[in-house]
Amino acid sequence: MNFNPTGDRVLIERAELESKTTGGLIIPDTASKDAPTQGKIIALGDGTSESELLKIGNVAMFTKSYEVTLDDSKFAVVNSEDILGIFNEQA
């Protein structure tokens, strides 16, 4: 894959959709599912400075995004201001 976001955009690899609820109910494939709004940061645009929060490898939660398919995988291109937060690793 050779894709670099420009400006303040961030490339995020979308997380897989859950096929089971927290209560144990299985969600059928025919059910309407919203795209996940979280994933791993893969690349930062040239206008986005890497910080403690926004760095490659962190898992981010975001709102609006543009979906792209690269090498048969789904990614989201997100403006940095549309990132709501970063998940912390738990020990």
pLDDT digits (tens, 9 = 90+) for 65-83: 899 988 888 899 999 989 9
Domain residue spans of the chain: 1-16+35-82
Kindly report the pTM of this predicted structure.
Answer: 0.75
Question: What number of other Cβ atoms are within 10 A of residue 15's Cβ?
Answer: 14
Half-sphere exposure of 64 (CA within 13 A, CB side): 5
Q: Which residues contact 64 (CB under 8 A, 6 or more apart)?
A: 78, 79, 82
How remote is the C-alpha of 64 from its chain's centroid? 10
How remote is the C-alpha of 40 from its chain's centroid? 5
pLDDT digits (tens, 9 = 90+) for 47-69: 877 677 788 999 999 988 899 98
Half-sphere exposure of 40 (CA within 13 A, CB side): 8
- What is the second-level CATH architecture of the domain 1-16+35-82? Roll (2.30)
Map residue 82 onto helix, strand or coil.
helix
Q: What's the CA gap between 89 and 59, in Å, rounded? A: 9
